[in-house]
Amino acid sequence: MPELRPPRGTHDLFGEELRRQRKVAETGRELARRYGYQEIATPIFEHLDVFQRTLGDTSDVVTKEMYVFEDRGGDRLCLRPENTAAVARAVITGGMAQDLPLKFFYVGPMFRYERPQKGRLRQFHQIGVELIGAAEPMGDVEIIALGQHILDELGVAESVTLELNSLGDRESRIAYREVLVAYLEGHRDRLSPESVDRLERNPLRILDSKDERDRAILAEAPPFEQHLNQASRDFFQRVREGLEQLGISYRVNPRLVRGLDYYTHTAFEFVTTALGAQGAVIAGGRYDGLVRDMGGPDIPGVGWAAGVERLAMLLPAAPEAERPVAIVPIGEAAEPRAWALAQALRREGVAVELAYRGRPGQRMKRASRLGARYALSLGEDELARDVVKLRDLDSGSEEEVATARVAERLRG
């Protein structure tokens, strides 16, 4: 029989790791609710064009990392590599553009074929927010503030730094593109083959190169901020002032660019070195042209996505598993009453563990292995008097409680 194991870049989630990731997702969901964001769930697979058109033909995601397949009906589909384009598609096809602004929160798995490493898998999970229809700089400030709030609530903010940059509006990007191409053409023979290809099709993408040859050349490249028009400078200044008014610290990183084609104006990342090499745990920015480029109305947008796995690894402590109450029937006659009591307590919101077989001593040992907080035992004498023995498994103390008052006692 062949060895059975998860595909490379995936793994099973359970126990402490699952509790950590659930903590991240639940914290994000609750805080997004407080900021007025409604949850949205898009399909795990979409038509290929949703991402191919929006992420850019030269992006690593499109050229190297997407899981693409053809279904039995001949449609070209892909597993979603990110969710911003999918949310934008939902806005268009759902006819939601009449209800602006739209504020969405999401959580779920994404898929990219890349080399698995610490905190980065081929099936990974993200939480994210999208604010669609708000052109004002305070929209950028609000979603950054939400990201900061989540980091604070998780207790990881001390190990994370907010980096900020402006990519300018479309006019600024066109102007800078000409300057950048002129500079890079003088170093064409030293660029990586991938960047030479991008020089023809999308030179701004070279700014995101991880190749050491390219990075050495880019270190002397003309700075983007010197080629921003006044409108872009004013927008970025208002974002910075808004963050400062809220007491959110940041540092400007002029080399920060987002890896996808649809970003304009604000780009930002919350980065950490606590997981080894510097990496982003939350990343996002403004994408004012995305919905239009997908065939929808010309409406602005801004958002971010956070890696659940990475944030979970930063948590100072794993959330404790819920400690159940164990019920231990003594004798065959007590079995039916034990099952009835277990069901009644579960309906009252109590987690209950009731073994299917075994002597009382064996069942009590199992309760200890499961980390049970209390054990409820009942035998012939307890049945006759309609009580149970409640043992505190931490202190060892024991008391009798009327069956009708067990749930009340456990809550107290």
- Identity of the amino acid at 382: E
pLDDT at 262: 66
Q: Identify the CA nearest to 37 among candidates 373, 369, 303.
A: 303
Cβ atoms of 161 and 270 closer than 8 Å: yes
Q: Could you tell me the two tokens for 351?
A: 């987690």
Asked if the bond preceding 116 is cis, omega within 30° of 0, the reply is no
Return d(Cα 269, Cα 162) in angstroms, integer. Answer: 6
Domains, the chain, in order of start with CATH, read 15-169+229-314 (3.30.930.10), 325-411 (3.40.50.800)
DSSP 251-318: EE-TT---SSTT-EEEEEEEEESTTSS-EEEEEEEE-TTHHHHTTS----EEEEEEEHHHHHHH-SSP
List the Cα angle 57/208/203 in 5-degree steps: 55
pTM: 0.89
pLDDT at 260: 58
- Identity of the amino acid at 285: G
- Identity of the amino acid at 60: D
- Identity of the amino acid at 6: P
Q: Which residues pair with 74 in a beta bridge?
A: none
pLDDT at 95: 93
Cβ atoms of 293 and 53 closer than 8 Å: yes
- Identity of the amino acid at 358: G
Report in angstroms the alpha-carbon separations of 224 from 21, 116, 186, 396: 37, 32, 18, 68
Report in angstroms the alpha-carbon separations of 159 from 64, 153, 230, 280, 286: 31, 13, 35, 12, 25
pLDDT tens sequence for the chain (412 residues): 567 899 999 999 999 999 999 999 999 999 999 999 999 999 999 999 998 877 765 556 666 789 999 999 999 999 999 999 999 999 999 999 889 999 999 999 999 998 887 777 999 999 999 999 999 999 999 999 999 999 999 999 999 999 999 999 988 888 888 999 999 999 998 999 888 988 887 788 788 788 899 989 998 999 888 889 999 999 999 999 999 999 999 999 987 876 555 688 999 999 998 887 668 999 999 999 899 989 999 999 999 999 999 999 999 998 998 999 999 999 999 999 999 999 999 999 999 999 888 888 888 888 888 899 999 999 999 999 999 999 999 999 999 999 999 999 998 7
Q: Could you tell me the two tokens for 142?
A: 């609000």
Report in angstroms the alpha-carbon separations of 263 from 44, 100, 209, 395: 23, 20, 16, 58
Q: At what angle do helices 170-185 and 193-201 cross, to 10 degrees?
A: 130
Return d(Cα 179, Cα 221) in angstroms, integer. Answer: 9
DSSP 86-128: HHHHHHHHTTGGGG-SEEEEEEEEEE-----BTTB-SEEEEEE
Report in angstroms the alpha-carbon separations of 199 from 185, 204, 261: 8, 8, 15
Report in angstroms the alpha-carbon separations of 305 from 81, 116, 144, 362: 12, 19, 11, 48
